[in-house]
Every structure is written in C-alpha cells, then in structure tokens.
Chain A
Amino acid sequence: MAKIKKNNYVALVIEDERPLLEAIRMKLEKNGFDVVGARKVEEAFNHMKDVEKIDAVWLDHYLLGSENGLDFLARIKQEDSKWKNVPIFVVSNTASPEKMQTYLRLGAVKFYIKAEKRLEEIIADIKSFLENGK
C-alpha cells in the first residue's frame, strides 16, 4: 500500500482484476491521489475502517468473493453508515441499463463502461467532483 500523505485525496479502488487495479492505482497516483486497493467487498470494508479519510471510491461490479459492487454500495449507503456521503464512481464492463439505473438509484455518482472510457477521463471527473462538488 502506498504511503498516505496528508494533503492528498484518498481513493479506495475496488477492482478484482489485478492488472486493471494496478493500472488504476498508477494513474490515480500520477494524478496526485493516495490509493488503497481491494479485490473483494469485505477487504474494502476493512480499508474503510482502517483509513480515517477516504474521499472517493472507484467501484467495479463483479468482484472476488460472493458479494458484488451492488452489495458494497447498498451497505455503505445504509442510514446508519458513517460513510454514506463518500462519493462512489462505478466503473464496470457489466453495463445493462437496468444495472446502471440500480447503481445510480442507490446513490452512485456516475457509471462508466470500463472498455469505453479512458482512465484520464474518469480521473478528471472524480477530481472535478471532489474540487467543485460536481
């Protein structure tokens, strides 16, 4: 795990494919983020508990383990969750309109189709959201 600097944004990336997770991590760090990575939901929650301040979550749908991205989102958005205001960006290749709608309805900020988006575009969006709130 990279060392967390004080003034950087912290992003939690939840992605099961190791090469993709690494690419995202590198690109985010290039863009001044601190990154924690997870490959399954439970692992992601452990990070959420360990790391005081997580500014944004990068979330895939299919993950290792029995739970998927929707389960993570549903849990994090629960009424009593202390992370319910953390913005979530879903980046997945499983992109039926129904699934996209479900993610957005549950409170995801945006849904990207992985194969069709450049890393830079997504990261620019996240940055702009964190800086301007949109």
Chain B
Amino acid sequence: MELNVSIYSVFSLLAASVDLAIGFFVLSKNYASKVNRLFFISSVALFVWGLGEFLQRSTTSYNLSYLFFIYLVPAGSVVYPPTLLYFLNNLIDNKKINTRIINFSLYIPALFFLILRYINPKLFVSNMTLKYWGYVPVFSDFYFLFLLYVAFFVALATIISIVYSLQSKGRIRKQAIFMAIGCFVATVSGLLTQVFAPIFKIEIPEMSLTFSAVYSAFIAMAVTKYGLMTLTPEKVAKDILKTINDFIIVVNNEYEIDLINDAAIKKLNYKQEDLIGRSVSKLLGTDFIKIKDSLTDKKNFQLNILTKIGENIPVSFEISEIKDSKDKIFGYVILLRDMQEMNNYINELQKKTNALLGKGKILEEQQRAVLNILEDVEAEKEKTKKFADRLDLATKSAKIGIFEFNVAKNLLTWNRQTENIFGKTRKRLLGDLNVWLKESVHPEDQARVKMEFDQAFTEKNDYESVYRIVWPDKSIHYVKHSATIKTDDSGKPVRAVGVIWDVTSEMEVDRAKTEFVSLASHQLRTPLSAINWYTEMLLAGDAGKLNKEQKQYLEEIYHGNQRMVELVNSLLNVSRLELGTFAIEPEMCNITDLAEIIVKEISPEIAKKKQKFTKKYSKNIPQTMLDKKLTIMILQNLLSNAIKYTPEKGKVNLEIGLEKGCLQIKISDSGLGIPASQQNKIFSKLFRADNVRATDTEGTGLGLYIIKSILDNVNGKIWFESIENKGTTFFVCLPPTGMIKKEGTKGLA
C-alpha cells in the first residue's frame, strides 16, 4: 500500500495515539476500577477512529480509501460517543442516573448506526474525492444525521462535565474542571470543522480528532495532579483502614477472618498470615458467637481480646452484617475499640482526684461525692461518659478546674470550671501558655510560675504550685495547681495534666493566723520588757542605792521575768508549729559548723558545772541543705537539757555522723535519765518527768515537744535510750538529702 501523508493526517494519527497512551496510563493506575476501564475503552475507540481516518486519507488508492472509510472508521466513530457518556456517568456516579438501563440505552443509536453503516454504506457516502490533505468521503444525505448523533453526544458530554465541575467541590472540582476544558476544546473544534464547515462549504480538514489530543492532555493532568481515577473510594478506604486506631476484622459466615487491619495486627502481635482464614474465636474466645447472638443492639459490649503473647486486652465490641443488594448475609464487620488506654486515662484521673482528696480542704460532702464516683468507676469503668459527667459535677461543686498542656503544640486547654476560677467567660477554652501567663498570672509571680513549670518538664516530676492570679476586674486571687507530667515511650515529656483550685480563703486564714502570732508576741512581751528594764534600772541604782535585801528581791523578780520571756518564746514557737505558719528555709551548710556555734555558747555553763564535754564529728559529713535556725534550735535544746540534767562533774558527749541513711546527731549524758514509766510521754506538750521536776523547777516542758514537731515537719526522727540515774542518749535523724523548703510566713524565733 502506498501512502501519501499530509501533515493534518499525521496530527490526527498522533492525537489518536496519544489518546490510546493516556488510556493505558489511566488503566495502569487502577485496572480494577470500572471507570478506568471505561476510559480505556473510549480511548481505544478514539484510536481506531483516528487510525481509520489516517489510512483513509493517506492511501493513494481510491478503492482502499473507500474500504477504510466504510469498514474501519465506523468501528471507532460510532462506538466512541456512547462510551464517553458511559464513562462520565460512572465517574460522576449519580445513583439515579448511573443505572444499567440508561447506560444500555446510550448504545441503542450506536447499534442502529453501526448496523446501517455496514449494511448500506451508500446511505452515508456516495464516493471519495481527493483533497489536498488526501481522500475524503463525499457524504450522502444520511451522513448528516450521523454527524448530528455524534455532535449531540459529545456536546452532552461537555455540558455534563461543565455542570459536574461547577457542582462539585475540592479535589473533585479540580479534576472535573480539567476534564470539562478538554471536552470543550475537542467538541468545539469538531463542531466547527465537521458540522459548520461543510454547511458553509468551507474546505478545511476535520480537526476534532487532532484536538482530542488536547482533551487527552487535560485528562492526563487531572490524573497526575489531582488523582482523577486514582484516588477512588476503594483506595481511600484502604488508607483509612491503615490509619484507623480501632481494630477492624471482617469475617465470613463461618466467622473465619477475611481481613484484619494493621492496627489490630500490630497490637495483637500477630502476622497477617497467622490470622487470615482462621476462626475469629482464636482472638475473641469460643463464647464469642454466643455472646454475639445474645446482643440486642450489638453495641457497647465489652470483652477481652487475646494477643499472641497471651495478654488480654479489654475492648468494646460492635458487630454489623455485610449484606448484598438482596439482603443476603455474606459475613460480618467486627469493630473493636481498645479500652486499655481509656482505662489508663480513667486511672490517671482517679489518681489525681485521690491526690486532691488528700490535700484539698474540700468540704466533707464534696469529698463524699467524689468518693462515690470513685467507687462507681471501680465497678463500671466502661461507662466513661457517665463518669465524665459526674466528675464534671463533682469538680464543679468542689470548684476544681482541669487543664492540660500539650508540649508539641505548645497548647494549653482548660475546662469551663477553670475559666470560672480565673473569673473569665470566654467561649474558646484554649490558648498559648505564655499568653495565659501574661494575661492571668500576677506580674510578680509570672517568672516563678514559668520557672516551676519548665523545671517540672525538665525533671519530669509531678508538681504543685501556689500563686496569685489577677481577674479581669483587677481583683487578686490565690490559686493552687497540681500537675502530672506525661512522657512518651522514649521518656520525652509530651503533656501536663492537672487540676487547679482557688485557695484565696485558705491564704487569708493563714495570714490571719500569722498576724495573730505576731501581735500576740508583741503584746505578751511588752509588759515583760517594762518589768525587765525597770528592774534593771533599780538594780543599777539608777533610782538610789538599794540595801542587800531589796537587791536580792529585785534579782528574783528579774530572773523570774527572764523565765517568763523564755516561756513566751516557746509558746509562740508552739503556736507557729501548730498553726502550720512557720517556714522552712534550707540553705547549703555544714551541720558541724552549726554545732560549733552552740558548743561555744554552752561552754561557760559546762565550765560552771565542771562537766566533761567530748565531741566527735565524722569526716565524711557533706554540705547539706538545712534550715540553720531550726537545726541550731534542735542542737541547742538537746545540749542544754543534757547539761541541765547532768550533775556537776558528769559527762556530756556530742557526735555527728552519717548512719544508716541518716545525718545523725547523738547527744549522750551521764545525768538523771528518764524514768521508764514516763518515757512514752517525754515528747508531750508541757510534760516534765517527775525526777527533773523534783530537782529543777525552771523547765517549760516545751523544748522536746518543739523539737519533735520540727523534726516531723522536716521528715526527721528523734528517739532516745535512757536509764534512770545512769544517763540518757538522744538520737536525731535528719534526711541526708537535707530539708525541703516550705513556704510559710514566719520562721521560729
């Protein structure tokens, strides 16, 4: 066969080939999809059409050209228009229109034209004539009807694409716009060159096929750029299955596993091949089918799922049937939700609530409400919603707010109650940590709060903090918060969860207590000062010379008054300890330095009583965080007791060392000792043993009580060994890690 190829024919063939290539490309994206297969068929039809036209135009033989036109061209040109519509109908997939009947009826005109063109070609073409671009048919009257058929179908396809692109949204819209532009260009060019040109007797080659390459190009862009015919529901569904955290198991009628999603595989420690085809009772137990049948609503049921390593994971359970269009059951979809995390979350909340119960000064009723909740939670953890509602109620009645800080997002979220505590009424209960600090925390407390927060995250410690907040009306309130730092598997802190409550009234009570002690100390000491000073002046002879007896009586007054001052000091210390308003302010120091201060102070007394004093400090005593005042008070009290209750020429010994996890002070004497029958009362307030009361009337009975209270407050201990008339040894154990700072309003004096 000889060919005489014109440039127009080449374009035409090229375009048809591009179409075919795009058809293969689309098919390769998802060969299982009906839409993709229909597109492929339409591109094959277009190619056949193009190939036929190319051969018909390019052959030099009149007869061959005629044969190509009547046999090859219709195979493409007649089949293409309905296939294009069929493809679009499936792509858009409107259930009312995408029906078998409509799709089938699309092919009725095609069938009619195909049969007619093969049986009686003369109805469409009278003969062939040679133009400058090759042989073209001279159309008979019927051909015009055929052209109308093609033009109508293609124009309809264009309109459908345009309407579709206007109605859809997002990604689909972008896909549809590209398709509509392609359709539009090809259709308009076809109408111009193949319908209007012959009507107006203009001699130009038919160009619709050439422009179909433009259509193909747009389709290709829609496929590659926006996933046309690529992101199908089936594909997306698979991806969703992969990302979902719940366990999804599809079983057949015999409850054999057809499909199980990745989350379940991972959590259960199995491999896919271990489970596919096996009975689901392997995972859910043999009673599962009975349980399933007994369920009425098939929802919210809890059971355990068994992992490969034999661990039972609590899961909530839902099951639904898989039915075909005739309601025949083919199997079941089982949806399991891991309740372990949910339970962990509940436990965490419960722990937090427990802590609150221990610490907060919540009214008894409120405590009972929370306790009730805790009991309920123990009994029915799966009813998380109920729990959440009641917790909400309890926290509301106890005025406890809940907050959470997410590290990765730097996002602080809080509940309505927290918002109330801050005196605000915003709708959005989330925000930036720094913004919150600036807006709500008292300017003088901001730096400290931030520092404590950062420190908790660095040390991954639970922590508590009390600070002032400023309400929008400028009033100042005290709040206390308690937070737990949560870490991920690698130990990196991810969030802080905590509770917050208003402690303004507690702080006010504290302040009132402190003010009371302060005033009391002033009021009690003032008259004592007057007695002191006037006695002092009389004794000094400022008001004239005194005789011996006057002097002696005044000295008794002076001495008695001194004892009164000491007693007042002790009583004030006791009230501070009991009111809990005293502060512990540890600083780095060496306990032996503190001991030396006291040793120096007591040495005149020892010398006076001619006692033998020995001391022994271990060499390994480290620098420790100690409140100097409190430590000195302990040493001073015990040593002066030892001296006071040891007769002349007796022995007093002081030892300091590290013993069995203690920074230990040991003070022993060869003194009166404590009667065995009274040893259990020795730390009681105002208690004095019989034997010391008989020999010395001046003790207050408060010294050991104060020391014991101090040691209770700094996590220390005190005990003794004593035999009456032989001596006593006191042991004090201070935590070797030192004392912990306690905010208070007063130190002991």
A residues whose Cβ falls under 8 Å from a Cβ of B: 17, 19-20, 23-24, 26-27, 30, 61-62, 92-98, 113-116, 118-120
Contact = CB atoms under 8 A, between A and B. Distances in A.
Given A114-B529, A115-B565, A96 B518 contact: yes
7 contacts: A27-B542, A62-B522, A93-B525, A113-B749, A118-B536, A119-B533, A119-B537
Given A93-B522, A119-B536, A26 B529 contact: no
B749 A97 contact: yes
Given A23-B533, A27-B537, A62-B522, A115 B568 contact: yes
B629 to A, nearest CB: 7
B747 interface: yes
A96 B522 contact: no
B568 to A, nearest CB: 7
B534 interface: yes
SS of B interface (majority): helix
Interface residues of B, number: 22
B304 interface: no
Contacts of B747: 96-98
B521 A94 contact: yes
A114 B565 CA distance: 10
B322 interface: no
Interface in B702-749: 745-747, 749
Report whether over half of chain A's contact residues are helix, strand or loop; otherwise say mixed.
helix
Interface string B497-530: 0000000000000000000001001100110111
B528 A115 contact: yes
A16 to B, nearest CB: 9
A118 B536 CA distance: 7
Interface in B510-569: 518, 521-522, 525-526, 528-530, 532-534, 536-537, 540, 542, 565, 568
B246 to A, nearest CB: 59
Contacts of A24: 533
Contacts of A61: 522
Contacts of A26: 537, 542
A20 B533 contact: yes
A98 B581 CA distance: 13
B525 A115 contact: yes
A11 B716 CA distance: 48
A23 B746 contact: no
Given A26-B537, A30-B542, A94-B521, A118 B532 contact: yes
Contact of B746 (A96, A116, A118, A120): A96
B611 to A, nearest CB: 26
Given A62-B522, A97-B629, A23 B530 contact: yes
B530 A94 contact: no
Q: Identify the interface centre among A113, A114, A120: most chain B CB within 10 Å of its CB.
A: A114
Interface string B87-122: 000000000000000000000000000000000000
Given A97-B749, A98-B746, A115 B542 contact: no
